[in-house]
Structure 1
Amino acid sequence: MDSRASVSASDETPATSPSPWAAAGVSDFDEALYHAILHQPEAGITGWSRLLGASPPRVRRACARLLRLGLIQAPDSTGGLRPVDPRIAVRALIRKRESESDLLAATADDMAKIYAAGLLRAEPSSLVEVVRGESANAARLEELYARAEHEVCLFDSPPYLAPLTPQLDLQSEVLRRGVAYRTVYSVTSLESPDLLAYAEGMVALGEQARVLPTVPMKLLVVDGRTAMLPLTSADVGPAYCAVIVRHSALTDALQTLFETFWQQGTPLSGTPDDGAEELSAADRRLIGLLAAGMKDEAIARHLGVSLRTLRRRVSDLQLRLAAAGRFQAGVRAAQRGWA
């Protein structure tokens, strides 16, 4: 047999997984010393040196490291270095590492701001992405929802690129993950029975919803840092384009715009108060549609009644709420928790 082949084979050592102690900053030698101390706590520096075949100065330096890590305790009146109960020492070491990791993670937002500012200086265009086509826009929208961590804010108005059911699935998944979800709907969004049912379904899942006669644009803002808004009308179909804006003064402005309109909106639903017990289910439904600011024709279509019947019922409600008009009646009812 070729001796060179034999030597080569003996040099190959199987790969081994790293020791779990490495994650805690404990070297192989320190780990070996710690085991020696656990086995023979009374041996002292000299005895542990013999056990490991290492010089006493090296063992002393390793003992100093183990002492800092809390795996051994300093000498006291009862004797020299002693090991700490591993069940206590290792748990304390894990908590310390977790605390250090949490501290590092807490700096991520600050570092991200520095990163974004650097991008803006080096290549401003990298903060803006144009997305072309219906399928590409749907994919990017799904990605933004998946990345949401804290809050999604939305201006909702027609027309819509995609069917409502997939959107409901995306948005309900966000709510299930504990992400806050706020939407300002335009009145025209809710004039269609399907769109109203969709909005009510979102509210039932935990969405906070408000309504305004109009909203300035379609808009999605995720975590106050990333925004998506259209560049073209959805009517153009496959040529539809949207823009994604990453964290910058522009996303801050868009978030402020959302908050301004949110404050002006009327809640889509509320918690009934004692007075609401006197309302019929039909009246509560009517109040909700009034609060949404819908036109008489759309409300009559939703309720399946004639315009004459609808206007009589609206007049009765206005008298009851001392309201000067339909929209004011809806707002006052919502403020009282009747909607």
Structure 2
Amino acid sequence: MLEMIGLAEDEEKVYLALLRSPAGDSGELAARLGMATPDAEDALARLADKGLLGRAPGGTSALRVAPPDAALSPLLVQRQAQLHQTQTEVARLIEDYRARAALHDPEEIVETVTGRDAVTESYRRIHQGAAKEVRVLVTGPPMVVSSADNDVARASMAAGVHYRVVYDRALLDGSDDPLLLAESCEPGEDVRVAGDIPMKLSIADDHAAFLPTVTSGLEEPSVIIVRPSGLLDALEWIFETIWETAVPFPAHDGEGSLTAMPEAEVEARRLISLMLSGCTDRAMANQLGVSVRTVQRRINRLSAQMGVRTRHQLIWQATRRGWL
């Protein structure tokens, strides 16, 4: 997951290894990780350039990394700033494109659909046309199809289509009828959470995007369907940018199956994900189906098990264990 803040796979591997235990030299580290010594030295050099290598106490030459709070937090802030700048620029690009579309024969790449029935049919057609993957950004109230009623998505996942979905954190805070992430995971969605998602969006494979333009108020819903073009490339890029910085739910290292884990560990990983995504205790309670006091007790118990005192330290321990 540290790839999200700019670390290559081998850099992350070396950083986490040194975070767990310093090494005497690059040869010892390479042997521990099953890497060639030149590859380990190259990764160490890049970590040093990024300010992620620290000094061992007492003037020894042992390899160790800088503390995560001092070294990684600036990288995270920088990536978040880049994401915000990217979202602003893509939004400007879309508006500029719409203003100039008439000069480029828009009917070839953009179809406008208006009206609830027509929009619903277009949504189903786009999703049913996916053969490999559907990428979705979910924010705001449902426009034509809610997550609970999305039988098209469930049928596609059952047929082997991979769904990557990023939900806006604000959807988890609803006190009356919050969106429940666990229910979204059940049919097979690969779920992440992010704050301030700028738009609703669905992308089927690389051949079509479904982008709502009117989503609320008294007006009929309206969408544009974007086919392969520079605009579709931009929409795919903004999805991938948001995906990279979003928080997986539940936290998972990608190895093994969550279904094979004890329920207590799965619940712990869900709790860590919700904490890292910035949810309130009330929102975490809603997502886990327990009371706020139960959430607080679970956080205290998990902190004690990991030997930490604060929620910040708890998240870093989860990172060290490869959960995030």
Alignment TM-score, normalising by the size of structure 2: 0.55
Instruction: Give the secondary-structure state (helix, strand or coil) at the position aligned to 1:256.
Output: helix
Which residue of 2 is the match for residue 102 of structure 1?
none
Shift of 1:160: 0.5
Shift of 1:184: 1.2
Which residue of 1 is the match for residue 280 of structure 2?
295
Shift of 1:251: 0.3
Q: Is the 8 A contact 1:293 1:330 kept in 2?
A: no
Unpaired runs of 5+ residues, structure 2, are: 1-101
Shift of 1:203: 2.4
Measured in 2, the distance between the counterparts of 1:141 and 1:195 equals 23
Task: Show CA shifts across 1:169-208 (max 9, x none).
Answer: 11011112222211111112334596544x4344233221
Counterpart check, 1:311 vs 2:292: no
Q: Is the 8 A contact 2:172 2:283 kept in 1?
A: no
The correspondence of residues 219-238 of structure 1 with structure 2, limited to 5 A, is: 219-232=201-214, 234-238=215-219
Amino acid paired to 1:300: A
Instruction: Give the secondary-structure state (helix, strand or coil) at the position aligned to 2:186.
Output: helix
Which residue of 1 is the match for residue 230 of structure 2?
249
Counterpart check, 1:166 vs 2:149: yes
Measured in 2, the distance between the counterparts of 1:335 and 1:190 equals 27
Measured in 2, the distance between the counterparts of 1:200 and 1:213 equals 18
Unpaired runs of 5+ residues, structure 1, are: 1-119
Task: Show CA shifts across 1:31-60 (max 9, x none).
Answer: xxxxxxxxxxxxxxxxxxxxxxxxxxxxxx
Instruction: Give the secondary-structure state (helix, strand or coil) at the position aligned to 2:217.
Output: helix
Q: Which has the larger radius of gyration?
A: 1
Instruction: Give the secondary-structure state (helix, strand or coil) at the position aligned to 1:200.
Output: helix
Report which of the two has the higher share of helix: 1
Alignment TM-score, normalising by the size of structure 1: 0.53
Shift of 1:312: 4.6
Identity across matched positions, percent: 32
Task: Show CA shifts across 1:203-246 (max 9, x none).
Answer: 233221111123221111111221111212x3225522111111
Q: Is the 8 A contact 1:187 1:214 kept in 2?
A: yes
Task: Show CA shifts across 1:258-315 (max 9, x none).
Answer: 1111111121123579xx7594676455335334432122223445655455335434
Measured in 2, the distance between the counterparts of 1:266 and 1:282 equals 16
The correspondence of residues 126-137 of structure 1 with structure 2, limited to 5 A, is: 126-137=108-119
Which residue of 2 is the match for residue 179 of structure 1?
161
Q: Is the 8 A contact 2:133 2:163 kept in 1?
A: yes
Measured in 2, the distance between the counterparts of 1:141 and 1:295 equals 33
Shift of 1:248: 0.3
